[in-house]
């Protein structure tokens, strides 16, 4: 059987992470939860990683949680509740949150290429990416209310940065399905492209030409600074700038720009300094 999550890192430092259950529209079973978490751990230690593309096999991003998983949960609700409330030692996120929120901790840009549907868990995974490029006919839903639940895979960390509270409540409470144009209007996707995978690869190639230090700092600036009070936000951007200015990669960016050549940056790990 093929891996439910396939990870391939190219010579250019761009990782292709593919949800690989096309016969189930890439619905999540427990193996996929664990495989996605393992993928983030692997990429965090990958030297020379420049960007990540998240996509689904078979022309579909992800239809959400596999019904067999919910049926399995029903057999031992007390154990499930303990697992929800008890992250592993040293982790802030529980077993069900880590496969989503860990993408936000990587020091490189993460691009979701969305075809078909992004429902439920698939929607929350897409929202954890830094950029979302969707096909014109893609469909989206925060679907947990359909099953009498709330989204609990890190949506509290992603949605507040993207949209108004009343709009978020409406989508969470109704579980309604929306098209790509509405998702774009609401700020849930970055742009629409006829071939989102090709567009994601083009964007990753463009980002890979920038200083990895600057990209990592830019990601932290937005992820952490958007919700900070003014003084703390100013202090954060000052610390980040002080950490990269005059460094080898910043100097190389300047020298390459002045010489009209492609820069050659020092390699760094995907999730660490």
pLDDT per position as a tens digit, 24-47: 999 999 999 999 999 999 999 999
**155 in helix, strand or coil?**
helix
Domains of the chain, earliest start first? 5-207 (3.90.226.10), 211-259 (1.10.12)
| Contact (CB, 8 A) for 182 and 137 | no
Sheet holding 110-114, edge to edge: 5-9, 14-19, 51-56, 110-114, 131-134, 191-192
- Tell me which residue of 109, 94, 86 sits closest to 211, measured CA to CA: 109
Q: Is the dihedral of CA 185, 169, 60, 40 positive or negative?
A: positive
Model pLDDT for residues 111-169, shown as the tens digit of each residue: 999 999 999 999 999 999 999 999 999 999 999 999 999 999 999 999 999 999 999 99
- Tell me which residue of 43, 10, 191, 33 sits closest to 113, measured CA to CA: 191
- The average pLDDT across 53-72 equals 92
Query: Any idea what DSSP says for residue 177?
Result: -
- The average pLDDT across 50-69 equals 95
What does the mean pLDDT of the chain come to?
94
**125 in helix, strand or coil?**
helix
Q: Is the dihedral of CA 26, 6, 106, 69 positive or negative?
A: positive
Rounded to the nearest 5 degrees, what angle is found at the Cα of 91, between the Cα atoms of 109 and 70? 90
pLDDT, residue 272, reads 54
pLDDT, residue 239, reads 95
* Cα distance from N-terminal residue to C-terminal residue, the chain: 36
pLDDT, residue 1, reads 42
pLDDT, residue 79, reads 84
Confidence label for 2 from pLDDT (cuts 50, 70 and 90): low
Q: pTM for the whole thing?
A: 0.94
| Contact (CB, 8 A) for 163 and 155 | no
- The average pLDDT across 208-220 equals 95
- Tell me which residue of 150, 175, 146, 147 sits closest to 74, measured CA to CA: 147
pLDDT, residue 24, reads 96
Bridge partners for 9 per DSSP: 15
């Amino acid at each position: 059987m093929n891996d439910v999550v396939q990870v391939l890192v190219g010579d250019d430092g761009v990782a292709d992470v593919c949800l690989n259950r096309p016969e189930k529209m890439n619905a999540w079973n427990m193996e996929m939860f664990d495989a996605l978490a393992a993928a983030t751990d692997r990429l965090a230690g990958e030297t020379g990683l420049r960007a990540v593309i998240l996509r689904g096999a078979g022309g579909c991003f992800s239809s959400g949680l596999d019904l067999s998983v919910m049926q399995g949960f029903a057999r031992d609700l007390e154990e499930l509740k303990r697992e929800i409330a008890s992250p592993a030692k040293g982790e802030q996120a529980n077993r069900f949150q880590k496969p989503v929120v860990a993408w936000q901790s990587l020091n490189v840009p993460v691009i979701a290429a969305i075809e078909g549907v992004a429902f439920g868990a698939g929607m929350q995974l897409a929202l954890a990416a830094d950029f979302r490029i969707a096909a014109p006919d893609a469909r989206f839903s925060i679907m947990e209310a359909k099953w009498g639940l709330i989204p609990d895979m890190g949506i509290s960390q992603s949605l507040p940065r993207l949209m108004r509270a009343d709009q978020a409540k409406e989508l969470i409470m109704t579980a309604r399905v929306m098209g790509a144009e509405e998702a774009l209007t609401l700020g849930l996707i970055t742009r629409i492209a006829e071939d989102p995978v090709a567009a994601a690869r083009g964007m990753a190639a463009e980002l890979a030409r920038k200083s990895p230090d600057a990209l990592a700092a830019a990601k932290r600036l937005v992820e952490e600074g958007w919700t900070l009070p003014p003084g703390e936000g100013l202090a954060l951007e000052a610390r980040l700038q002080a950490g990269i200015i005059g460094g080898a990669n910043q100097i190389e960016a300047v020298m390459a720009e002045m010489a009209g050549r492609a820069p050659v940056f020092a390699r760094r790990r995907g999730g660490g300094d």
